[in-house]
Amino acid sequence: MAEKVNPYKDSDQSKKIQVTKMFDTISKEYDGLNRVISFGIDVKWRNKVVKLVAKENPENILDIATGTGDLAISLTSTSAKEIIGFEHLNQSEIRFKTEARDFQLKLSNRLNEQVLLALKAELQTFSIDRVISGKIDFQEDFGSIQQMPVPDLPDGEFEIRILIDHSSIEVFINEGQYVMTAQLFPNEEYTDLTLENLGDSEITLEGFELNEVKRIW
């Protein structure tokens, strides 16, 4: 069995708090150390990303898993009016409007844990797939796919609103016409958000927002 390793072996604090404390301690030296170890390659790839993004003339930029914020800061040289840096998705609100009927949103982390949110026109269903979402072995059917019928969506544009906490996810479709909730227990926060087109038509997301949700306790 793998040994559990904590940054501070004599501390009574949880591993999560210890890791946060460790990165707070090294944050001032982290960028300089990274520059030396990578022989400056991190600067080169960052500049390349900025050039690629600038060609698209974006109005808004979202940097997920922003870390020390180096990339977000570099992106201020583009034409973007707003740049948002997000460290992780496990306390956030995702909100947008769309006419698409066939797409999938994936929340994932570096451990390859993922949650799949899928809308499928042919089946007229919305599903939450938590088969490999994190801790699932404590209950036989926890690692499953939850499915909800959505037969009466409007013909045009409708809203998708997703609220993600550290152990739950709530989805509101068309301002609450359909609502779905599930528990999640990832071993690490979800840091990546991926949109996949499941149909043949082009997908457009209007008014896309990613907002931090503050704790109430």
Phi-psi region of 177 (alpha: psi -120 to 50; beta: other; left: phi over 0): alpha
| pLDDT for the residue numbered 26 | 67
**Strand, coil or helix: what is 96?**
strand
Domain residue spans in the chain? 15-86, 92-212
Q: Within its chain, how far is the Cα of 96 from the centroid?
A: 14
Q: How many C-beta atoms surround the C-beta of residue 162 within 10 A?
A: 21
Q: Long-range contacts: 120-128, Cβ < 8 Å, 24+?
A: 120/198, 121/199, 124/149, 124/150, 124/151, 125/149, 125/150, 126/150, 126/171, 126/173, 126/178, 126/180, 128/169, 128/171, 128/180, 128/182
Given the candidates 3.50.50.60, 3.40.50.920, 1.20.1270.360, 2.60.120.560, the CATH classification of the domain at 92-212 is 2.60.120.560
Alpha-carbon dihedral of residues 150, 101, 97, 66, nearest 10 degrees? 110
Alpha-carbon distance of 130 to 113, in angstroms, equals 9
| pLDDT for the residue numbered 184 | 94
Residues with Cβ within 8 Å of 214's Cβ and at least 6 positions away in sequence, in order, are 91
Instruction: Give strand pairing partners of 93.
Output: 163, 211
| pLDDT for the residue numbered 1 | 46
Say if residue 71 is exposed, middle or buried (CB neighbours under 10 Å; 0-12, 13-18, 19+). buried
Phi-psi region of 153 (alpha: psi -120 to 50; beta: other; left: phi over 0): beta
| pLDDT for the residue numbered 40 | 79
Tens digit of each residue's pLDDT, the chain (217 residues): 455 666 667 777 776 677 767 766 766 676 677 778 878 787 888 889 889 988 988 887 777 767 667 777 788 888 888 777 767 788 889 999 999 999 999 999 888 999 999 999 999 999 999 999 999 998 888 989 999 999 999 999 999 999 999 899 999 999 999 999 999 999 988 988 889 999 888 888 898 888 887 765 5
